[in-house]
Amino acid sequence: MYSKITNPITGRTVAINGKLGKTILRNYINILMGGGRGQIPIPDKPIFLIVAGATGSGKGGIPSLLLSQVTNPLTATASSWMNANGTRTEWVKALVDDLVEHDPYYKHRLDNILKGRQLCGSTDLVTPNNQSNNCKDTRSIKKLIDNIQPETYDAFGDAYFSTRTEMGCKKFMDAAKPSCDTINDIELTTAIIDKRNIVFETTNPRASWLFDPASIEPAALKILTEDYHIILTFSMVDYTKLRERNKSRASEVIYNYLHTGRPAPYPRLPDVSVEGGFKNKYASIKKNLQKEISAILNINSTTPKPTSDPSHVANYYNHINTIILYNNNGAPGSMNQVVNWTKTSVKGLSGNYTNKLGDLLKAVRRYMTIASRSPLARAVKNPWR
């Protein structure tokens, strides 16, 4: 949840519930700009911002970047970043990982893996003949990650999913067996019904389950389809950089957990090994992104081609108003928008900059590369061949 906003004149952050903060929010966005590649006018509606990207891609930085890339915000017309009643100005972040990574049960499971089972010690879950003190610094931990046995990754994964689906988040509800998934769904549904501005983070660019009547309250589904401006964003990073970033991030958070006593969020360890299929997972995400872009633009074209998608999936595609792709292959803080598309029929829009399908797919191929020239890499580059 975001409580501050940057004053574009002074560069200082101000509280969004203060007089100045509300003024900036009311007038903040008329045109979003990015990378010199176009403009996206935003209607006066609450925003449902889908922030997608692989683990470690930096997708969490998209909301603040989106807010910072504006022109003349103080002279713009009333924007969608404030709700119609003017009282709820902050964003609600819907991310089940936040619940898991702050949960005491998850911490208990991590203690068993990192300390009781001696991840950094001798021979339990890691390469045989591993010596003690392997976690003395982040460099040592990063080297250790290259040699971790599959059982260690499985232990981290089991701790995460056990917390998420069974044992975690008990403090939030009185039900006998609540889950973090349930809590997150309740918070998301409540935010939609209240017409809050929502940031929804996901790895998979397809979030069509949100439009499945079996997965969402009817009242929330009606509001989502009728009253929201839905933006799909994706953070693109090539395979080699993404793998290194995940290793570096895991090394840092594990070190902090073991040595600095820092509070939550508690660390996760994504399986970045070749044997664990990291490249295959990356390729799958890239392929899904290409398919989602094609499907969204097809259903919003003047002559859409027939598809076999379930009705709720087609409904999801039809309600995506904007697509924004970001390149995050550079140094930290250098993520930039490279291409965007906005539906021309959205009420309140004018002067749209519409990119063709080829521009969007070209950006995916350019910024999500797989260095290997294996059959897998060639297949992902053209998944329809």
pLDDT tens string for the chain (385 positions)?
A: 456 666 655 566 777 667 666 555 544 433 232 333 334 444 467 889 999 999 889 998 888 777 655 333 333 333 334 444 443 346 788 888 888 988 888 988 888 887 655 566 543 334 434 444 567 788 888 877 777 778 888 888 899 999 998 888 876 544 556 788 888 888 899 999 988 888 899 988 888 888 999 888 899 999 999 998 899 999 999 999 999 998 888 888 888 887 777 777 888 888 887 666 788 889 999 999 999 999 998 888 878 888 888 899 999 999 998 899 999 998 877 888 888 888 765 443 333 334 578 889 999 999 999 865 443 333 344 333 3
Kindly state the DSSP code that residue 257 receives in the 8-state scheme.
I
pLDDT at residue 260 in the model: 77
Beta strands in the chain (DSSP E): 4-6, 13-15, 31-33, 39-41, 47-52, 91-94, 197-202, 229-236, 320-327, 336-342
Residue showing tokens 């969204």:
296
pLDDT at residue 159 in the model: 92
Do 344 and 337 contact (CB within 8 A), yes or no? no
pLDDT at residue 313 in the model: 92
Q: Show Cβ contacts of residue 110 under 8 Å, excluding neighbours closer than 6 positions.
A: 159, 257, 266, 267
pLDDT at residue 51 in the model: 93
pLDDT at residue 33 in the model: 29
Element (DSSP H or E) covering residue 108? helix 104-111
Q: What tokens appear for 66 in the block?
A: 């989106």
Do 97 and 367 contact (CB within 8 A), yes or no? no
pLDDT at residue 4 in the model: 67
Do β-strands 320-327 and 336-342 pair in parallel, antiparallel, or remain unpaired?
Answer: antiparallel
CA-based R_g, the chain, Å: 22
Residue showing tokens 């550079």:
330
Q: What tokens appear for 99 in the block?
A: 């619940």
